C-alpha cells in the first residue's frame, strides 16, 4: 500500500460507550508514533470535525478507519455507509462493532420496553408528563430531526463489509499498539496486510490457555456468584470453584487479566478463532462438566446460572446465530 505523504487515519464511534477511544489514548507515548505515521482526519471524540468534511473527502481517501460501536440508530447506519465509502481499510474496532457487546443485549427487548425503562420505569427517572423522544419536532425556527432507533442492534459487518476486527471491551492498549505497529510496517513496505476478515492484535486460542491457574479434570457441583464465596483459591481454576468463568470460549490476547485477580472471565474478548456461536460453545463447555447424571439435579445445579442468555451472550448476542430475541422483532413481519 503506497501513500503519498502521511497516511490518513480516522476513528469513529457509533453505538458505544467511548471506552474504545479512551483505550486508544491509553497507548501512552505510542500515540506519538501514531502522529508520526498518520494524519488524523476524523476523530469526533478528540478533535473538532463535521460530517460534511468527511462527505467532502474523495472516496477511499482515509487509509485506516477504526470504527467502534454497533449500529442502533439511523445515524449509526448512515455513518457506517459513509465511512465505508471513504475508507480503504475499515476495522471493526472493539466488541460493539465486532459483536454487539452490552448494547446488543437490548436485542432481547422490544424498543417500546427499552423506552419504558429509559423514560419511565427506573426509580431515578422523573418524567410526570411521560415525554418520549420523537424523530421530528416542529420548532419555531423550523423542523428538527433526530435519528430513529432500529428494532435491533446490528454489528458493523452486518451493515457494511468490514476488512478487519479488533476484539475487546475495550481492546487492550498493547493490542492497539501492536496493530498500529503492524499497519505502520505495512505502510513502510516492510510487511504485507493479513488476509481480509482476520482478527488483528489478539491471540487465536482461549483465555484458559493464557490463564496460569491449575486446571484439573472438571467436575462442577454448583455454580455460585462471586460474592457468595468466602474465599477464592488463588491457584485453582475458577470454573472448578463453581464460578461461571467464560474463559473456555473467549479469545486469548488479554493476558487472562480477570482470572489472574480472581474475577471470572466475562467474555469481553469475543469468541476464540473458529467459534461460530460463542454462547453455544460456552454452553457446551459448561454443561459437559456438570457432575450429575440426574436431570433434576442438573436442573438445580444450572439454577446457579439464573440468566443464561446474559451469561453466554453478554458480549455476543448481536453476532450470535439467532442475533436477537423473538421479542425484539415479533410483529415486524406484519409491517407494524
Partner 1 sequence: MSDPLDGKTFEPVIIGFTCNWCSYRAADMAGMARMKYPPNIRLVRVMCSGRLDPTFIFKAFASGADGVMVTGCHPGDCHYIEQNYKLMRRFILMQRTLEQMGIEPGRLKLTWASAAEGAKFSEEVTNMVEEVRRLGPLNWPSAETMDEWMAKEPSIETEERP
Contact assessment for residue 12 and residue 50, using Cβ atoms and an 8 Å cutoff: no
The one among 17, 49, 102, 283 contacting partner 1 by CB under 8 A: 283
The answer to the question of residue 273 lying near partner 1 (CB under 8 A) is no
Between CA 132 and CA 116 the distance in angstroms is 9
The answer to the question of residue 4 lying near partner 1 (CB under 8 A) is no
The answer to the question of residue 111 lying near partner 1 (CB under 8 A) is yes
Work out how close the CB of 21 gets to partner 1 at its nearest, in angstroms, rounded to a whole number: 26
The one among 5, 29, 112, 123 contacting partner 1 by CB under 8 A: 112
Between CA 331 and CA 328 the distance in angstroms is 9
User: What separation in angstroms does the CA of 104 have from each of 114, 204, 205, 243?
Assistant: 12, 24, 24, 24
Residue 95 C-alpha cell reads as 466488541
Nearest to 312 by CA among 274, 273, 262, 265: 265
* Exposed / middle / buried, residue 159 (Cβ in 10 Å: 0-12, 13-18, 19+): middle
Between CA 168 and CA 171 the distance in angstroms is 4
Work out how close the CB of 126 gets to partner 1 at its nearest, in angstroms, rounded to a whole number: 15
Interacting stretch for partner 1, rule CB under 8 A, among 18-26, 199-207, 254-262, 303-311? 303-311
Question: Residue 251's beta-bridge partner residues?
Answer: 206
The answer to the question of residue 304 lying near partner 1 (CB under 8 A) is no
Work out how close the CB of 29 gets to partner 1 at its nearest, in angstroms, rounded to a whole number: 43
| Count of residues in contact with partner 1, rule CB under 8 A | 59
- The residue among 2 and 321 lying less far from partner 1, judged by its C-beta, is 321
The answer to the question of residue 279 lying near partner 1 (CB under 8 A) is yes
Work out how close the CB of 271 gets to partner 1 at its nearest, in angstroms, rounded to a whole number: 11
The answer to the question of residue 151 lying near partner 1 (CB under 8 A) is yes
The answer to the question of residue 288 lying near partner 1 (CB under 8 A) is yes
The answer to the question of residue 263 lying near partner 1 (CB under 8 A) is no
The answer to the question of residue 212 lying near partner 1 (CB under 8 A) is no
**Restricting to residues 49-88, which ones interact with partner 1 according to CB under 8 A?**
74, 77
- The residue among 132 and 215 lying less far from partner 1, judged by its C-beta, is 132
Between CA 235 and CA 264 the distance in angstroms is 13
Nearest to 102 by CA among 122, 72, 79: 72
Could you tell me the sign of the dihedral formed by the alpha carbons of 231, 234, 236, 237, in that order? positive
The one among 108, 169, 258, 272 contacting partner 1 by CB under 8 A: 108
Question: What stretches of the chain adopt beta strand conformation (E)?
Answer: 7-13, 38-42, 62-68, 71-73, 87-93, 136-139, 142-145, 149-154, 164-166
The one among 130, 192, 216, 227 contacting partner 1 by CB under 8 A: 130
The one among 25, 135, 144, 224 contacting partner 1 by CB under 8 A: 135
Work out how close the CB of 122 gets to partner 1 at its nearest, in angstroms, rounded to a whole number: 17
The answer to the question of residue 147 lying near partner 1 (CB under 8 A) is yes
69 torsion bin: left (phi>0), alpha (psi -120 to 50), beta (else): left
Work out how close the CB of 206 gets to partner 1 at its nearest, in angstroms, rounded to a whole number: 16
Between CA 20 and CA 46 the distance in angstroms is 12
Count of beta carbons in the 10 Å neighbourhood of residue 261: 9
- The residue among 132 and 196 lying less far from partner 1, judged by its C-beta, is 132
Between CA 91 and CA 66 the distance in angstroms is 5
Interacting stretch for partner 1, rule CB under 8 A, among 48-56, 82-90, 149-157, 198-206? 149-157
- Footprint of partner 1 on this chain (CB under 8 A)? 74, 77, 108, 111-112, 115, 129-135, 137, 147-152, 154, 158, 276-277, 279-281, 283-284, 286-288, 290, 292-293, 295, 298-299, 302, 305, 307-309, 312, 320-327, 329-330, 332-336
Amino acid at each position: 500500500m503506497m501513500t503519498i505523504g502521511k497516511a490518513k487515519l480516522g476513528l469513529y464511534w457509533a453505538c458505544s460507550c467511548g471506552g474504545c477511544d479512551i483505550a486508544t489514548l491509553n497507548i501512552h507515548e505510542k500515540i506519538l508514533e501514531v502522529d508520526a505515521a498518520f494524519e488524523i482526519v476524523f476523530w469526533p471524540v478528540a478533535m473538532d470535525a463535521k460530517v460534511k468534511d468527511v462527505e467532502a473527502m474523495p472516496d477511499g481517501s482515509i487509509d485506516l478507519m477504526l470504527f467502534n460501536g454497533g449500529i442502533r440508530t439511523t445515524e449509526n447506519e448512515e455513518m457506517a455507509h459513509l465511512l465505508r465509502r471513504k475508507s480503504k481499510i475499515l476495522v471493526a474496532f472493539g466488541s460493539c462493532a465486532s459483536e454487539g457487546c452490552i448494547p446488543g443485549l437490548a436485542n432481547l427487548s422490544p424498543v417500546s420496553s427499552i423506552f419504558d425503562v429509559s423514560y419511565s420505569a427506573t426509580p431515578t427517572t422523573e418524567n410526570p408528563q411521560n415525554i418520549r423522544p420523537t424523530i421530528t419536532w416542529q420548532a419555531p425556527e423550523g423542523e428538527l430531526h433526530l435519528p430513529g432507533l432500529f428494532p435491533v442492534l446490528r454489528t458493523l459487518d452486518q451493515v457494511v463489509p468490514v476488512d478487519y476486527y479488533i476484539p475487546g471491551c475495550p481492546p487492550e492498549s498493547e493490542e492497539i499498539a501492536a496493530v498500529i505497529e503492524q499497519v505502520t510496517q505495512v505502510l513502510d513496505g516492510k510487511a504485507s496486510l493479513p488476509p481480509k476478515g482476520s482478527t488483528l492484535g489478539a491471540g487465536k486460542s482461549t483465555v484458559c490457555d493464557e490463564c496460569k491457574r491449575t486446571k484439573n479434570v472438571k467436575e462442577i457441583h454448583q455454580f455460585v456468584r462471586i460474592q457468595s464465596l468466602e474465599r477464592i483459591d488463588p491457584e485453582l481454576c475458577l470454573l472448578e470453584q463453581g464460578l461461571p468463568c467464560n474463559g473456555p470460549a473467549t479469545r486469548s490476547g488479554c493476558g487472562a487479566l480477570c482470572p489472574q485477580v480472581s474475577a471470572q472471565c466475562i467474555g469481553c474478548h469475543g469468541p476464540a478463532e473458529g467459534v461460530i456461536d460463542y454462547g453455544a460453545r460456552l454452553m457446551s463447555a459448561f454443561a459437559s462438566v456438570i457432575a450429575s447424571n440426574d436431570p433434576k439435579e442438573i436442573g438445580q445445579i444450572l439454577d446457579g446460572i439464573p440468566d443464561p442468555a446474559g451469561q453466554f451472550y453478554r458480549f455476543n448476542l448481536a453476532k450470535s446465530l439467532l442475533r436477537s430475541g423473538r421479542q425484539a422483532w415479533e410483529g415486524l413481519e406484519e409491517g407494524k
